[in-house]
Chains A and B, each alone.
Chain A
Amino acid sequence: GQSLEQPSEVTAVEGAIVQINCTYQTSGFYGLSWYQQHDGGAPTFLSYNALDGLEETGRFSSFLSRSDSYGYLLLQELQMKDSASYFCASNTGGFKTIFGAGTRLFVKA
């Protein structure tokens, strides 16, 4: 089957750095996406890794290791507005996207 595992909750302090991990088991793996979702809102796309390595977009970075079936999202200089759920998603051949159950990030002052 296809599955993505990520921690259910992470708590961090404002201004700190937090890493949200994702391990996957999917057939026909093409790449790993990350989405952010605030309570009551819609998911919004953050980043995508098709190749091994780090992708940086402002305060957010995403990493992929295909050999380890592992990726992570790194959030730097945490702000209160970063409190949200974060989903990793596996893109299988461009046709189907499978989502993890999500990690709820709590940012404390």
Chain B
Amino acid sequence: NAGVTQTPKFQVLKTGQSMTLQCAQDMNHEYMSWYRQDPGMGLRLIHYSVGAGITDQGEVPNGYNVSRSTTEDFPLRLLSAAPSQTSVYFCASSYSRDRAYEQYFGPGTRLTVT
């Protein structure tokens, strides 16, 4: 099992550009989520999904869109990048919504917006 994979590892964007951060898991996990981590801060939930076709907003959803067309994939789209979105983005998954307390994280994408 590869676990949770994320691409790209690093990305630099100019203000106003859009892009999609990819996330995939091969553990047949029901629950997937996206977090951002800023220096000296914990992880903040952006969006989450409790199954294919079902998504919902977390703490900081503005400026981001998600979709979940398959169990495996949960891409995060930045609609119009802003310097405030410079951060490390982590995708995570867990077996089910009832076990969302135990999440498996991908290696992260380090995004810089200039």
A contacts, CB < 8 Å to B? 4, 8, 30-31, 33, 41-45, 48, 50, 87, 89, 91, 94-102
Contact = CB atoms under 8 A, between A and B. Distances in A.
Which secondary structure dominates chain A's binding surface? strand
A43 B98 contact: no
9 contacts: A41-B107, A42-B106, A43-B103, A48-B102, A89-B42, A96-B59, A97-B33, A101-B40, A102-B42
B19 interface: no
A42 B59 CA distance: 20
B74 interface: no
Contacts of A43: 43, 90, 92, 103, 105
Contacts of B104: 45
Contacts, number: 63
A42 B58 contact: no
By Cβ-Cβ distance, the 10 closest A-B pairs, closest first, are A99-B42, A42-B105, A91-B101, A99-B43, A94-B97, A33-B101, A101-B42, A48-B101, A94-B100, A45-B102
Interface of B: 33, 35, 40-45, 48, 50, 56, 58-59, 90, 92, 97-108
Q: Which of A41, A95, A102 has the most CB of B within 10 A?
A: A95
Contact of A31 (B44, B101, B103, B105): B101
Contacts of B99: 94
